[in-house]
Chains A and B, each alone.
Chain A
Amino acid sequence: MTTISETSVPRSRKRVDGWRWTGRIFLALMLLYTAVPMVWMLLTSIKSGFAAMQFPPQWWPSEPTFASYQKLLDPQNSVGQDFLRFFWNSLFVSVCTTILAVAVAVPAAYAFSRFHFPGRRFLFFAVLLRNMFPAVIFLVPLFILMRLLGLVNTHGSLILTYLTFGLPLAIWLLKGFYDNIPIQLEQAARIDGATRFQAFLLIVTPLSVPGIIATAIYSFIGAWNEYIYAATFLTKNEQLTLPVGIQRFFSENTTDFPGLMAASFMMSVPVVVLFLILQKYFVRALTEGAVKH
């Protein structure tokens, strides 16, 4: 979190600086815009269904209750059973995607950074171009492809798909990292008798751990939040991931807003916590991968 503060300019604080006040007011407004929806989600989630449906609204819940959370987390209850299963499914798919994405992106990014094989630039941009195409275009053909591979209604179909849409940015981020690791380190290892692969595995990979963490966060968040493929490829209730599961569930219970807000909150917790803990790696990877000139 301190990466930026280290480099910021110490400025004199004597003059009343109009720009500084503009900045403060602007930040206050942005904080309001960002936080109000999240705070309202939390406040609603601890109201009873009756208290949520009042006009004028209860700005502060008069009788806070954790009933919605209890219902979602109770494995005896049918709602809780579904929710916990969706949660587990999301976790499984996201973790598998993350591991595979790192395993595929690391060698590719290394090659794009170090080797000068013909067609390197073409392939690199072809990989990046993938980023441009929307999921909808791929839905029908991928569905047919998954049927050919026998993956319809399995989590494998999602993992394979998520892998491809996460790869381009992952490779791009990691390439920036490898570009910044001095080649002399590997050359020294080669002189000492290591093969190129050994140098890659033993010298370069440990140094690129921050980049790998950033790639992993990116893949995990992408897989955790994905909706459209999951909505198309999975039809059995017990296999749904959270975004689809929540949507299916609340299209049947349209008025349970406290429950909906509690579910939205629970769904956001893992990714938000993960991101907040590891965000410095992510910002650093963007700095080195995407932004340097």
Chain B
Amino acid sequence: MSTLAGHAVAPGKPLAANPGVLQRMWSSRADYLYVLPAIVVMLIVIAYPIYYTIELSFFKTPPGLQLRDKIFVGADNYTAIISSDVFWRVTLNTVIWTFASTLIAFVLGYGAALALHRDFAGRAVLRAILIIPWVISAVAASYIWKWIYHSDFGIVGAVLVQLGIVDRQPNFIDNVHTVLPSLIVVNIWREFPFAMIMVMAGLQTVPEQLLRAAKVDGASAWQRFWHVTFPHLRSVSTVTILLLAVANFNSFIIPWIMTGGGPSNASHIWITHIYELAFGRQRWGVAAAYSVLLFVILMVLGYFYVRALSGNEKREQGA
């Protein structure tokens, strides 16, 4: 609906394919000036790094050598990655981390948004409190939770001991079995508010008349949700889940600060692993090859991302 305004400028001309693209580009040359600063910054800081990473992934930098003394090794870095055990371990961790964090954060945020949609005393305060974890820096959050999980003085362990559930303080983040779930809890703590804000914003677009009409027709609360609210929230939900998935796939700070990937790689995810390879072990070539593989995966995710977003655009323009 909002692009109606845009159509008023270029009154509904179907985009003619080839004839005069250059001409049209020339005639709207002033328009590019508005976008130019953004594009220039992007090109410098994005295009160059991508090119550089792809190039570096075919080289080896033996320890002790400067980065510029690299040796061409063809696809060796890639075969080294695929054939290593750590790769599969880290990939499994990344999949668990991304899926669990995204799904649970989204469900919790969605639920909180629905529960907060109804007016009650103290709602604004409650909403503000629930949003705070998203605003706090991930570094601060990591330290707070590290203290909560502390193996001697952590509050979670202490409560469990006091309630008689366990006999001694569990060591959440030094245990290969509990470390990943423990970190996922921290990640969800920081991320569910984002899902909540997005769904809250989406709820404002659900037409009230429709809900009221459904109520008059005798629809139960559940039916009103399932047949009116839920379908209206579908596009915002898709965008939210994609944004969360990308953010989780790319997370770094929480695992890095809390465990550094340990114990024995149990909490290494792709990004922390790449960082360690590059900056810890100076294996720049392998790290670059990892990054290129990451590009490929992100491109696939990106395809869905753009499709979900342009789906929104098309619906807008059809409206």
A residues with a Cβ closer than 8 A to B are: 1-5, 7-11, 17, 19-20, 23-24, 26-27, 30-31, 33-38, 40-41, 44, 52-57, 103-105, 107-108, 110-119, 121, 123, 125-142, 144-145, 160-161, 163-164, 167, 171, 176, 179-184, 187, 196, 221, 224-225, 227-228, 232, 242-243, 246-247, 250, 257, 260-261, 264-265, 267-268, 271-272, 275-276, 279, 282-283, 286-287, 290-293
Q: A23-B114, A55-B158, A287-B205 are in contact. Are A108 and B298 (CB under 8 A)?
A: no
Give min CB distance, A152 to chain B, whole Å. Answer: 14
Given the complex of chains A and B, what is the CA–CA distance between A181 and B44 in angstroms? 32
Beta-carbon contact of B112 and A279 below 8 Å:
no
Taking CB atoms, residues of chain B closer than 8 Å to A183 are 5-6, 8-9
Partner of B117, one of A8, A10, A121, A228: A8
The reply to whether B316 and A41 contact each other, CB–CB distance below 8 Å, is no
Instruction: Take A34-B130, A286-B198 as given contacts and tell me if A167 and B41 are in contact as well, using a CB distance cutoff of 8 Å.
Output: yes
- For residue B153, which residues in chain A have a CB less than 8 angstroms away from its CB? 52-55, 57, 257
Residues of chain A contacted by B278 (CB below 8 angstroms): 136, 139-140
Chain A residue contacts of B10, Cβ below 8 A: 116
Question: Could you say which of B95-103, B132-140, B176-184 contacts chain A?
Answer: B132-140
Q: Are A293 and B145 in contact (CB under 8 A)?
A: no
A117 touches B236 (CB 8 A): no
B239 touches A290 (CB 8 A): yes
Which residues from A are CB-within-8-Å of B140? 243, 246, 264-265, 267-268
Q: Which residues of A contact B204 (CB under 8 A)?
A: 3-4, 7, 287, 291
B310 contacts partner chain A, Cβ-Cβ < 8 Å: yes
- Quick one: closest A residue to B125, CB to CB? A1
Known: A114-B9, A167-B42. Contact between A224 and B136, CB under 8 A?
Answer: no
On whether A145 and B48 interact (CB within 8 A), knowing A8-B119, A133-B298, A179-B5, the answer reads yes
Beyond A53-B152, A111-B34, A138-B49, 13 additional pairs, beta carbon < 8 A: A27-B126, A104-B41, A107-B37, A117-B28, A131-B246, A132-B298, A136-B271, A224-B137, A243-B137, A247-B139, A257-B153, A275-B131, A292-B316
How far, in whole Å, are A110 and B1 apart by their CA atoms in the complex?
17
Chain A proximity of B148: nearest CB distance (Å): 6
The 9 A-B pairs with the shortest beta carbon distances in the complex, nearest first, are A111-B34, A141-B49, A23-B115, A134-B250, A225-B137, A179-B2, A183-B5, A141-B52, A264-B140
Shortest distance from the beta carbon of B304 to any chain A beta carbon, whole Å: 11
Q: Do A291 and B34 have beta carbons less than 8 Å apart?
A: no
Determine the residue in chain B with the shortest Cβ distance to A108. B38
Interface string of B273-311 (1 = CB under 8 A from A): 011001100001001100100110010011001100110
Q: How far is the CB of A99 from chain B (nearest CB, A)?
A: 13
A108-B28 contact given A31-B130, A129-B306, A183-B8, CB 8 Å threshold = no
- What separation, in Å, do the CA atoms of A19 and B219 have in the docked complex? 14
Which residues of the other chain, B, contact A179 by a CB distance below 8 angstroms?
A: 2-3, 5-6
Please indicate the chain A residues that have their CB under 8 angstroms from the CB of B244 in the complex: none
**In the bound complex, what is the Cα–Cα distance between A115 and B3 (angstroms)?**
11
Residues of chain B with a CB closer than 8 A to A33's CB: 189
Q: How many residues of B contact A (CB 8 A)?
A: 120
The secondary structure that dominates the B interface is helix
Q: B129 contacts the other chain (Cβ, under 8 Å)?
A: yes
Cα of A38 to Cα of B143 in the assembled complex, Å: 11
Contact of B46 among A44, A164, A267, A268 (CB under 8 A): A164
- Is B92 located at the chain interface by the 8 A CB criterion? no
Residue of A nearest to B56 (CB): A140
Check if B86 is an interface residue, CB within 8 A of chain A: no
| CB proximity to A under 8 Å, residues B147-192 | 147-148, 150, 152-153, 155, 158, 161-162, 169, 189, 192
Query: What is the chain A residue whose CB lies nearest that of B236?
Result: A291
Decide if B147 touches A114 in the complex (CB within 8 Å): no
When chains A and B are docked, how far (Å) is the Cα of A56 from the Cα of B169?
10
Q: Give 17 A-B contacts (CB < 8 Å), ordered by A residue.
A: A3-B204, A4-B117, A9-B211, A30-B130, A44-B147, A113-B6, A117-B24, A121-B313, A136-B278, A140-B288, A141-B49, A145-B48, A225-B138, A264-B144, A271-B136, A286-B197, A287-B202
Report the minimum CB–CB distance from A111 to chain B (whole Å). Answer: 4
| Residues of B close to A9: CB separation below 8 A | 118, 208, 211-212
CB distance A128 to B306 under 8 Å?
A: yes
Contact assessment for A163 and B135 in the assembled complex, using a CB-CB cutoff below 8 Å: no
Residues of B contacting A116 with CB < 8 Å?
Answer: 6, 9-10, 28
How far is A121 from B131 in the complex, measured between Cα atoms in Å? 33
Most-contacted residue by chain A among B161, B197, B274, B294 (CB, 10 A): B197
Which residues in A have their C-beta under 8 angstroms from that of B284? 140
Contact B200 A283 (CB under 8 A): yes
Point out the residue from B116, B250, B253 that lies within 8 Å of A27, measured CB to CB: B116
- The smallest C-beta distance from B72 to any residue of chain A, in angstroms, reads 18
A5-B119, A128-B309, A279-B131 are contacts. A26–B144 as well, Cβ < 8 Å? no
By the criterion CB–CB under 8 Å, are B298 and A160 in contact?
no
A136 and B38 alpha carbons, distance in the complex (Å): 22
Q: Name A286's closest neighbour in chain B (CB-CB).
A: B201
| B104 → chain A closest CB, angstroms | 11
A128 contacts across to B, CB distance below 8 A: 305-306, 309
Could you tell me the distance between the alpha carbons of A37 and B155 in the complex, rounded to whole angstroms? Answer: 9
Closest B residue to A1 using CB positions:
B124
B288 to chain A, nearest CB (A): 8
Contact mask for chain B residues 22-53; partner A; CB cutoff 8 A; 1 contact, 0 none: 00110010111111011101101110111011
